[in-house]
A = this chain, B = another copy of it.
Amino acid sequence: MSQPSHSTLEKTALSQVKRGQKRASYDKTTALDIIDAALMCHVAQTKNGQAFVTPTCHWREGDYFYWHAHSKARNVQGPIDEPEKVCINISLLDGLVLARSAMHHSVNYRSVTLFGVPELIEDKAEKVRQFKIFLDKVSPGRWEQLRPVNDTEIKATGLVRIKIAEASVKFRAEPPVDDEEDYSWPVWAGVMPLERTWGENQQDPRQEEHYPEPTPPKAF
Protein backbone atom coordinates (compact mmCIF):
# COMPACT_ATOMS: atom_id res chain seq x y z
CA MET A 1 0.00 0.00 0.00
CA SER A 2 1.33 3.45 -0.85
CA GLN A 3 2.14 5.45 2.21
CA PRO A 4 0.69 8.91 2.86
CA SER A 5 2.96 11.83 2.08
CA HIS A 6 3.45 15.12 3.95
CA SER A 7 2.07 15.72 7.38
CA THR A 8 -0.10 18.81 6.98
CA LEU A 9 -3.41 19.34 5.22
CA GLU A 10 -3.92 22.29 2.87
CA LYS A 11 -5.60 25.24 4.57
CA THR A 12 -7.43 27.11 1.79
CA ALA A 13 -10.39 29.49 1.54
CA LEU A 14 -12.60 26.38 1.36
CA SER A 15 -10.97 24.17 3.96
CA GLN A 16 -10.10 26.71 6.64
CA VAL A 17 -12.31 26.25 9.69
CA LYS A 18 -14.32 29.42 10.28
CA ARG A 19 -16.15 28.72 13.56
CA GLY A 20 -14.69 27.05 16.64
CA GLN A 21 -11.09 27.36 15.47
CA LYS A 22 -9.77 26.15 18.82
CA ARG A 23 -11.19 22.72 17.92
CA ALA A 24 -9.57 22.73 14.46
CA SER A 25 -6.48 20.85 13.26
CA TYR A 26 -4.71 20.46 9.93
CA ASP A 27 -2.67 17.45 11.01
CA LYS A 28 -2.89 14.81 8.29
CA THR A 29 -2.21 11.82 10.55
CA THR A 30 -5.16 12.82 12.73
CA ALA A 31 -7.36 13.08 9.62
CA LEU A 32 -6.29 9.66 8.33
CA ASP A 33 -6.97 8.04 11.71
CA ILE A 34 -10.52 9.45 11.74
CA ILE A 35 -11.15 8.44 8.13
CA ASP A 36 -9.98 4.88 8.87
CA ALA A 37 -12.03 4.62 12.07
CA ALA A 38 -15.28 5.53 10.30
CA LEU A 39 -17.26 3.31 7.96
CA MET A 40 -19.58 5.98 6.64
CA CYS A 41 -19.18 9.47 5.19
CA HIS A 42 -21.50 12.13 3.73
CA VAL A 43 -20.79 13.34 0.19
CA ALA A 44 -22.18 16.79 -0.70
CA GLN A 45 -22.32 18.01 -4.27
CA THR A 46 -24.49 20.31 -6.38
CA LYS A 47 -26.69 19.73 -9.39
CA ASN A 48 -28.06 22.80 -11.15
CA GLY A 49 -26.96 24.79 -8.12
CA GLN A 50 -28.92 22.67 -5.62
CA ALA A 51 -26.93 20.96 -2.84
CA PHE A 52 -27.41 17.23 -2.30
CA VAL A 53 -25.88 15.09 0.43
CA THR A 54 -25.56 11.31 0.24
CA PRO A 55 -24.40 8.93 2.97
CA THR A 56 -22.03 6.27 1.72
CA CYS A 57 -19.27 3.92 2.87
CA HIS A 58 -15.67 4.87 2.15
CA TRP A 59 -12.15 3.54 2.38
CA ARG A 60 -8.62 4.89 1.99
CA GLU A 61 -5.33 3.98 0.41
CA GLY A 62 -2.36 6.22 1.11
CA ASP A 63 -3.33 9.83 0.42
CA TYR A 64 -6.55 8.95 -1.41
CA PHE A 65 -10.14 8.71 -0.19
CA TYR A 66 -12.36 6.30 -2.16
CA TRP A 67 -16.07 5.60 -2.46
CA HIS A 68 -18.20 3.61 -4.84
CA ALA A 69 -21.82 3.30 -5.96
CA HIS A 70 -23.91 2.07 -8.84
CA SER A 71 -22.12 3.38 -11.92
CA LYS A 72 -25.11 5.61 -12.74
CA ALA A 73 -25.41 7.08 -9.22
CA ARG A 74 -24.99 10.82 -8.80
CA ASN A 75 -22.15 10.59 -6.33
CA VAL A 76 -19.79 8.68 -8.64
CA GLN A 77 -20.43 10.88 -11.68
CA GLY A 78 -17.82 13.39 -10.67
CA PRO A 79 -18.72 17.07 -10.49
CA ILE A 80 -21.96 17.80 -12.32
CA ASP A 81 -21.80 21.58 -12.03
CA GLU A 82 -18.26 22.15 -13.44
CA PRO A 83 -15.75 22.87 -12.03
CA GLU A 84 -17.24 22.01 -8.69
CA LYS A 85 -15.42 20.30 -5.89
CA VAL A 86 -17.42 17.91 -3.74
CA CYS A 87 -17.38 18.39 0.03
CA ILE A 88 -17.20 15.26 2.15
CA ASN A 89 -17.64 15.02 5.91
CA ILE A 90 -16.64 12.03 8.03
CA SER A 91 -17.91 12.25 11.63
CA LEU A 92 -17.80 10.04 14.68
CA LEU A 93 -19.95 11.06 17.65
CA ASP A 94 -18.09 10.01 20.82
CA GLY A 95 -20.26 11.33 23.62
CA LEU A 96 -22.63 13.89 25.07
CA VAL A 97 -21.07 16.69 27.12
CA LEU A 98 -23.37 17.76 29.95
CA ALA A 99 -22.54 21.18 31.39
CA ARG A 100 -24.03 23.30 34.19
CA SER A 101 -25.73 25.65 31.71
CA ALA A 102 -27.63 24.72 28.54
CA MET A 103 -25.29 26.96 26.53
CA HIS A 104 -22.19 24.91 27.30
CA HIS A 105 -23.69 21.53 26.52
CA SER A 106 -21.73 20.02 23.68
CA VAL A 107 -20.65 16.75 22.11
CA ASN A 108 -17.32 14.97 21.94
CA TYR A 109 -16.62 14.03 18.34
CA ARG A 110 -14.03 13.49 15.62
CA SER A 111 -14.72 15.06 12.23
CA VAL A 112 -12.87 15.51 8.93
CA THR A 113 -14.05 17.68 6.03
CA LEU A 114 -12.50 17.10 2.59
CA PHE A 115 -12.77 19.07 -0.66
CA GLY A 116 -11.79 17.80 -4.08
CA VAL A 117 -12.80 17.08 -7.65
CA PRO A 118 -13.65 13.37 -7.87
CA GLU A 119 -11.43 11.36 -10.19
CA LEU A 120 -13.22 8.47 -11.91
CA ILE A 121 -11.27 5.19 -11.88
CA GLU A 122 -12.01 3.06 -14.92
CA ASP A 123 -9.08 0.66 -15.13
CA LYS A 124 -10.50 -2.79 -14.48
CA ALA A 125 -7.55 -4.20 -12.55
CA GLU A 126 -7.31 -1.10 -10.39
CA LYS A 127 -11.04 -1.24 -9.65
CA VAL A 128 -10.74 -4.84 -8.45
CA ARG A 129 -7.67 -3.99 -6.37
CA GLN A 130 -9.61 -1.18 -4.70
CA PHE A 131 -12.67 -3.36 -4.05
CA LYS A 132 -10.37 -5.79 -2.22
CA ILE A 133 -8.97 -2.97 -0.07
CA PHE A 134 -12.55 -1.97 0.80
CA LEU A 135 -13.51 -5.55 1.68
CA ASP A 136 -10.37 -5.88 3.82
CA LYS A 137 -11.55 -2.84 5.79
CA VAL A 138 -15.03 -4.31 6.28
CA SER A 139 -13.84 -7.81 7.16
CA PRO A 140 -10.11 -8.58 6.95
CA GLY A 141 -9.27 -11.74 5.00
CA ARG A 142 -12.77 -12.16 3.58
CA TRP A 143 -12.03 -11.26 -0.07
CA GLU A 144 -10.29 -14.56 -0.87
CA GLN A 145 -13.24 -16.56 0.51
CA LEU A 146 -15.84 -14.91 -1.74
CA ARG A 147 -17.24 -15.90 -5.11
CA PRO A 148 -14.89 -13.94 -7.42
CA VAL A 149 -16.08 -10.69 -9.01
CA ASN A 150 -17.07 -10.79 -12.67
CA ASP A 151 -16.87 -8.24 -15.49
CA THR A 152 -20.54 -7.26 -15.30
CA GLU A 153 -20.16 -6.41 -11.60
CA ILE A 154 -16.98 -4.43 -12.18
CA LYS A 155 -18.66 -2.43 -14.95
CA ALA A 156 -21.79 -1.81 -12.88
CA THR A 157 -19.79 -0.32 -10.03
CA GLY A 158 -18.66 3.30 -10.27
CA LEU A 159 -15.46 4.09 -8.38
CA VAL A 160 -14.10 7.54 -7.58
CA ARG A 161 -11.41 9.03 -5.37
CA ILE A 162 -10.19 12.41 -4.17
CA LYS A 163 -6.81 13.27 -2.76
CA ILE A 164 -6.79 13.92 0.99
CA ALA A 165 -5.17 17.35 0.83
CA GLU A 166 -7.59 20.31 0.93
CA ALA A 167 -9.12 19.36 4.24
CA SER A 168 -9.59 20.13 7.90
CA VAL A 169 -10.15 18.26 11.13
CA LYS A 170 -12.32 19.24 14.08
CA PHE A 171 -12.53 17.29 17.29
CA ARG A 172 -13.54 17.63 20.90
CA ALA A 173 -12.50 15.15 23.59
CA GLU A 174 -12.80 16.74 27.01
CA PRO A 175 -15.08 17.43 29.99
CA PRO A 176 -17.57 20.33 29.88
CA VAL A 177 -16.12 23.83 29.85
CA ASP A 178 -18.44 25.95 31.94
CA ASP A 179 -18.44 29.64 32.79
CA GLU A 180 -16.16 29.97 35.81
CA GLU A 181 -18.95 31.24 38.06
CA ASP A 182 -21.12 28.21 37.23
CA TYR A 183 -18.79 25.44 38.45
CA SER A 184 -20.51 25.35 41.84
CA TRP A 185 -24.01 25.01 40.31
CA PRO A 186 -25.62 21.92 41.95
CA VAL A 187 -26.11 19.61 38.97
CA TRP A 188 -24.15 16.59 37.71
CA ALA A 189 -21.72 17.56 34.95
CA GLY A 190 -19.52 15.42 32.78
CA VAL A 191 -19.45 13.23 29.70
CA MET A 192 -21.85 10.46 28.68
CA PRO A 193 -19.67 8.35 26.33
CA LEU A 194 -21.24 6.82 23.24
CA GLU A 195 -19.83 3.38 22.54
CA ARG A 196 -20.08 1.38 19.32
CA THR A 197 -19.76 -2.39 19.44
CA TRP A 198 -20.42 -5.29 17.09
CA GLY A 199 -23.35 -7.35 18.28
CA GLU A 200 -23.70 -11.09 17.89
CA ASN A 201 -23.41 -12.18 14.25
CA GLN A 202 -26.75 -13.02 12.64
CA GLN A 203 -26.28 -15.85 10.18
CA ASP A 204 -28.33 -15.68 6.98
CA PRO A 205 -31.48 -17.82 7.62
CA ARG A 206 -30.94 -19.37 4.18
CA GLN A 207 -27.58 -20.76 5.32
CA GLU A 208 -27.67 -24.07 7.21
CA GLU A 209 -23.97 -24.92 7.02
CA HIS A 210 -21.51 -23.74 9.66
CA TYR A 211 -18.60 -21.72 8.33
CA PRO A 212 -15.99 -19.75 10.28
CA GLU A 213 -17.47 -16.43 11.38
CA PRO A 214 -16.09 -13.26 9.79
CA THR A 215 -13.59 -10.95 11.43
CA PRO A 216 -15.14 -7.57 12.26
CA PRO A 217 -13.51 -4.29 11.17
CA LYS A 218 -10.47 -3.56 13.31
CA ALA A 219 -11.68 -0.12 14.37
CA PHE A 220 -14.85 1.84 14.52
Contacts and interface: CB of A to CB of B under 8 A. Distances in A.
Interface of A: 14, 18-20, 39-40, 42-46, 49-55, 57, 69-70, 72-74, 81, 84-89, 91, 93, 95-96, 98, 100-103, 105, 107, 109, 111, 113, 131, 135, 138-139, 142-143, 145-147, 149, 153, 156-157, 175-176, 182-183, 185-207, 209, 211-214, 216-217, 220
A117 to B, nearest CB: 12
Q: Which 10 A-B pairs have the closest CB atoms?
A: A193-B199, A44-B53, A188-B211, A44-B44, A44-B51, A42-B42, A190-B203, A55-B91, A103-B153, A189-B204
A45 to B, nearest CB: 5
Contacts of A214: 98, 188, 192
